[in-house]
Each structure stands twice: as C-alpha cells, then as structure tokens.
C-alpha cells in the first residue's frame, strides 16, 4: 500500500514536470524567428489612446496605425488616409481614407470607425489617459461619405498632422472599444497583431498576414519584455536574451562600443531637461536672480557628469530636432563673475537659500547644481523624491509651493518632432501654470503668450518658425527655467539586427527590423 501511494505521487510529479517541460519545448522551438525587445517599463495599456508613455507607444506601434505615419527620415506620410486638405484658415481638414483596410478582428476600417475613434476622446466621461491634448483644439469629426472624414478644429493647431501619428489618434477597432476589451487586448490595423499578452511577463506580437501593405517586412514575431534594472537590461543584451534594448543606459556605453556583438545607436533626442524656477517666490521673482543662476550653471559639466556626454547643452527651450529651433543662440555662457554681479544688483551679494525637488533618477543633477551654485553663494536644498511624490509636489499651485517652500523643480519635457507649440504652450504659457499645466514656476509673460498664439495661427511654416525664434529669445531673456541640456536617445541592438530606428524622444520602431 505504501509503495502504491508513493508510486502514484511519483507519477503525478512526473506529469506536472512533463507538462512544464512541454511548455518550455514549445517556447524554445519558436525562438528563431522572434525579435526580442526589452524596455525599461511594462506597458500601461493595450489601448494607444489610454496611455501617455513612450515605451508603451513603442510596444503598440507595430499593431496600430494612424491616418498618417512617420517615416524613418521623420517626414509625415499617408497611412490609413491617402490624401488630405485643409481650408484657408486651417480649421477644417478633410481626409480620404484608404480602401480595403480591416482591423485585426475583421471590423472594416471606414469613416464611421474614424469618427468613433475621435469621439471617444471628446467624451469627457470616458476619461481616457491620452485625451487631454486633442480636447484642447478638436471641435468634432464627421463622416462626409463612407470613406471621407472631416475634422473641425476650435483653434489652429500647427502640430495637428504630426499628432495624427501619435497615441490618441491611432485607430483602434470600434467593436473592441465598445466591448471594453481594448485596454487588455490590442486590436488595430497594423502589420502585427496581438499574439499573447501575459501582463507579468511579455507581450507577443505576431505578423498580420492580411495587412493592407502586403507582407510585413519584420520578423515573424516580436516579443516584448521589461525590467526596471538597467544592469539587467545590459546583461540581457550580452547573453542574447534581448535583441534590442531601449533605453540604453549610457553608463554601459563603453562596454557596448568595445563589443563586436553589439551595436549602439545614438541620435538627437527631444527631451529637454531644465530647472523650473518658482517665479512667484522670493527671490526668484527677480529676473536678475534667475539670470544669475543661469550664468552660474556649467552645462557642459552637467552633460559630462550626468549623461556621460550623451547630450547637447541647452541654448534654447526647444530641442535641436524641433522645427524652428535656433542653433545660433547662446544666452548664458558659464560666467561666475557675471552671475555674482547680477546677484549683487538684486540685493543678494552673499547669495541666498532655495530648494529644488527632483526625482530619484535625476537626483545627480540636483547635486551637481548644488555644487555649482554654491560658488555664487546660493545654497541649494535638494529634495529627492520618488516619482509619484514628486509629481504631486511639482504640480502644486503657488500657495502650496509657498507653503512647502518649493523654489524650483527639476524635470524634462519632450515634444520633439511634433512641433514647438507642444513645448512652449504647456511649459511657458501663462494659462498652463500648475496645477492645470506643466508651467511649474507660474511664469507669466504677455509678450510670450502673444507669440505662442500668433505662431499657432500662422499656417506658413517659415513665418511660423520665425515667430518661434522670437519666442525662444523671449524665454531665454526672461529665464523662467535654467535650461540644462537635451538628451540624446540611446538604444542598443545585437550586431545581427537591422532596421530598428528611433523617433526623437526615446521610442524605438522595430516593426521593420530583421535578424540576420
């Protein structure tokens, strides 16, 4: 009897082990045609319109498409729309849609689907994460005929076409959205469709053989995994567990450069890092004090110490990739004498004490500034915070910041190729003062507000960019921020991977990537 029981247990154990083994065998069998991509964070949604995270956008990119798409040369090209036109004022836009496109669940793509996709963002009750930007300028979308849609804008919006390639404007299946499943199960029109989403482990995208664009160029499958440990990410690339890792931790750059099995890609990024000064608080309400801090900042030093050189010192509120950026500006060379002189004029010859709030991963910037500004007598109290705590503190209103003594906030903003308006308006426009926007220092300047509005309503690109140059000068003169640097975007791949490219701002595009 004892023997029998033991035997049965053993058989059970074998069966369990066997089923495990079988799973692993399946997992290894398909490895060959899979592109493994590892990122620094898990996807936040399978619905591109319900997330605002760069790495989620990258993961969803092969599965979804917008009316327009961005090419590797960063130009805008037709995707689900074949042609479009605008009225003279730029307020009414008409799009002809591509024929014969179907969502992965078989729902036909037509004007009705487009209308539903935008109406869901205009419905305040839905509260989708990415609706905010569209709601500021979009009046409504109507179907003219089954394959034509018309957009009505409340105000001119220079970034409109660029925005159509981003999260909230990517087309999700209206059937899946109505069923409420889209957040957990992606259904788009793209060259890949969702194979499996194991929320703790991976997202597997498989080729969509019915894609309107013909056979997808990339590998059979794309498998996405994630870890928050940068050293683990680097190790995964070394062992080949990952073919692509993004973002690449710059601390390991030398290691990858020395390794022939890996490739490092460095491109101009769009995240501009800055210290937002609380212009409602003494002594930072004094322009001379803000300028003094700018002169006392050794930007090249920060670039070297914080980014291992993978950044460009900031000379403008815009990133170099942003249309309208003026590379000739040089407002604040490192000049301690000038800084001291300005402080003296402002009545602080011995300096003063102020605070800054910073998230853990950028805490080093705070420490560097602390040392730099100490040279002009400014004692910087650096308050390191965990992300969630930081954003609560950063978005306080003037009274809240006064109460907590928050003199400045260190952060970055990335609008990149989508246009200067998306950098100027949220960060410097008076109505964007926090908590309603990311103008964290409550900067208010009528001249700048006027320039931002004027540029937004200027349809001619050259004329618009000229206004943006004026706006850059105005921000530099008024110094609401201490502008620090624009980060370069780094990602790394195994040497046998081709066709991965990066959208400035940190998102990789892997749908056309192949493995030799």
Partner 1 sequence: MKAYITKKIMALPLILIGVSIIVFVAIRALPGDPARLMAGPEATQEAVDAMTSRLGLDRSLPAQYASYAYDAIRGDLGISIKSKLPVVDEIGERLPFTVALAITAYLMAIGIGVPAGMLAAIYRRGWPDQIVMLLAIAGASVANFWLALMAMNTFSVQLGWLPLLGATSWKSFVLPSITLAVLPTAVIARMTRSSMIEVMSQDYIRTAYAKGVRPATIYWSHGLRNALLPIITIVGLNFGSLMGGAVVTESVFNWPGIGRFLVDAVRYRDYPVIQGVTLVAVTGVVLMNFLAEVLIAALNPKIRLD
Give the footprint of partner 1 on this chain (CB under 8 A): 20-21, 24, 27-28, 42, 44-47, 51-53, 124-127, 129-133, 135-136, 183-184, 198-201, 225-229, 231-232, 235-236, 238-239, 241, 386-389, 391-393, 395, 411, 413, 426, 435-438
Which CB atom, from 254 or from 514, has the smaller least distance to partner 1? 254
Dmax (CA) of the chain: 97
CA distances from 396 to 298, 408, 422 (A): 29, 12, 21
Q: How far is the CB of 423 from partner 1 (least distance, A)?
A: 11
In the bound state with partner 1, the residue whose beta carbon lies nearer, of 52 and 119, is 52
Report the residue number, 31 or 514, with the smaller CB distance to partner 1: 31
Least gap, CB of 505 to partner 1 (angstroms): 12
Q: In whole angstroms, what is the distance from residue 277 CA to residue 288 CA?
A: 12
* Residue 362 beta carbon to partner 1: minimum distance, rounded to whole angstroms: 13
b/e 84-104 (16+ beta carbons within 10 angstroms → b): bebeeebbebebbbbeebebb
Spatial contact of 119 and 113, defined as CB atoms under 8 Å apart:
no
Determine contact, residues 219/32, Cβ cutoff 8 Å.
Answer: no
In sequence order, the 6+-apart residues with CB closer than 8 A to the CB of 5 are none
Find the shortest distance in angstroms from Cβ 200 to partner 1: 4
Mark residue 422 as left, alpha or beta (left: phi above 0; alpha: psi -120 to 50; beta: remaining). alpha
Residue 175 vs 287, nearer CB to partner 1: 175
Nearer to partner 1 by C-beta: 204 or 376?
204
Any bridge partners for residue 497, and if so which? 515
| Helix/strand/coil for 333 | coil
User: Cβ contacts of residue 266 below 8 Å, gap of 6+?
Assistant: 310, 488, 489, 490
Q: Assign 96 to helix, strand or coil.
A: strand
Supply the DSSP string of 462-484, one letter for each residue.
HHHHHHHHHHHHHHHHH-SEEEE
As beta bridge partners, residue 68 has 78
Minimal distance, residue 120 CB to partner 1, in Å: 12
d(CA 109, CA 117): 11
What are the beta bridge partners of residue 92? 152
3-state secondary structure of 52: coil
Residues 6+ apart with CB under 8 A from 461: 323
- Is 200 or 214 the residue whose CB approaches partner 1 more closely? 200
Shortest CB 439 distance to partner 1, Å: 12
| Minimum CB distance to partner 1 smaller for 229 or for 477 | 229
Comparing CB distances to partner 1, the nearer of 194 and 438 is 438
Q: Which one, of 416, 395, 414, 413, lies nearest residue 404 by Cα?
A: 395
Closest approach of partner 1 to the CB of residue 344, in Å: 37
Distance in Å, CB of 426 to partner 1, minimum: 6
Q: For residue 76, what are the β-bridge partners?
A: 70
Which residue's CB is nearer to partner 1, number 310 or number 390?
Answer: 390
Q: How far is the CB of 443 from partner 1 (least distance, A)?
A: 17
CB nearer to partner 1: pick between 183 and 301: 183
Q: What's the min distance (Å) between Cβ of 270 and partner 1? A: 13
């Amino acid at each position: 009897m004892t023997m029998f029981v033991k035997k049965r247990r053993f058989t059970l154990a074998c069966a369990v082990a066997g089923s495990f083994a079988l799973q692993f065998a399946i997992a290894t069998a398909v490895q060959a045609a899979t592109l493994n991509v590892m990122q620094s964070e898990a996807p936040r949604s399978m619905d591109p319109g319900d997330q605002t995270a760069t790495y989620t956008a990258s993961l969803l990119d092969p599965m979804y498409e917008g009316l327009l798409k961005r090419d590797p040369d960063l130009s805008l090209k037709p995707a689900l729309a074949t042609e479009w036109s605008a009225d003279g004022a730029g307020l009414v836009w008409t799009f002809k849609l591509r024929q014969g496109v179907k969502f992965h669940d078989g729902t036909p793509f037509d004007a009705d689907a487009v209308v539903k996709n935008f109406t869901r963002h205009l419905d305040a009750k839905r509260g989708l994460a990415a609706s905010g930007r569209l709601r500021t300028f979009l009046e409504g979308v109507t179907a003219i005929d089954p394959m034509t849609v018309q957009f009505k804008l409340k105000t001119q919006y220079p970034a409109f076409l660029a925005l159509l390639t981003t999260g909230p404007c990517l087309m999700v299946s209206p059937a899946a959205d109505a069923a409420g499943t889209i957040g957990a199960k992606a259904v788009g029109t793209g060259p890949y469709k969702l194979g499996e989403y194991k929320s703790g482990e991976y997202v597997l995208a498989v080729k969509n053989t019915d894609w309107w664009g013909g056979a997808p160029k990339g590998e059979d499958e794309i498998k996405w995994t994630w870890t928050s440990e940068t050293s683990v990410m680097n190790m995964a690339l070394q062992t080949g567990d990952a073919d692509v890792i993004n973002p690449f931790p710059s601390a390991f750059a030398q290691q990858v450069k020395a390794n022939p099995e890996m490739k490092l890609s460095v491109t101009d990024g769009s995240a501009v890092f800055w210290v937002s000064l609380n212009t409602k608080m003494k002594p930072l309400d004094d322009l001379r004090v803000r300028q003094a801090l700018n002169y006392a900042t050794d930007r090249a030093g920060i670039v070297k110490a914080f980014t291992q050189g993978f950044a460009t010192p900031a000379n403008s509120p815009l990133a170099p990739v942003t249309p309208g950026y003026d590379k000739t500006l040089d407002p604040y060379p490192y000049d301690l004498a000038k800084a001291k002189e300005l402080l003296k004029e402002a009545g602080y010859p011995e300096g003063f004490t102020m605070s800054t709030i910073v998230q853990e991963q950028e805490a080093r910037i705070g420490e560097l500034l602390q040392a730099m500004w100490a040279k002009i007598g400014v004692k910087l109290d650096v308050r390191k915070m965990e992300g969630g705590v930081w954003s609560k503190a950063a978005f306080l209103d003037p009274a809240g910041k006064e109460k907590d003594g928050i003199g400045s906030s260190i952060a970055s903003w990335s609008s990149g190729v989508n246009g200067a308006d998306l950098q100027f308006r949220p960060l410097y426009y008076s109505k964007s003062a926090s908590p309603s926007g990311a103008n964290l220092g409550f900067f208010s300047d009528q001249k700048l507000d006027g320039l931002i509005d004027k540029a937004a309503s200027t349809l001619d690109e050259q004329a618009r960019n000229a206004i943006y140059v004026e706006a850059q000068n105005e921000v530099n003169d008024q110094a609401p921020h201490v502008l620090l640097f624009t980060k370069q975007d780094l990602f790394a791949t195994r040497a046998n991977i081709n066709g991965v490219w990066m959208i400035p701002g940190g998102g990789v595009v892997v749908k056309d990537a192949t493995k030799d």
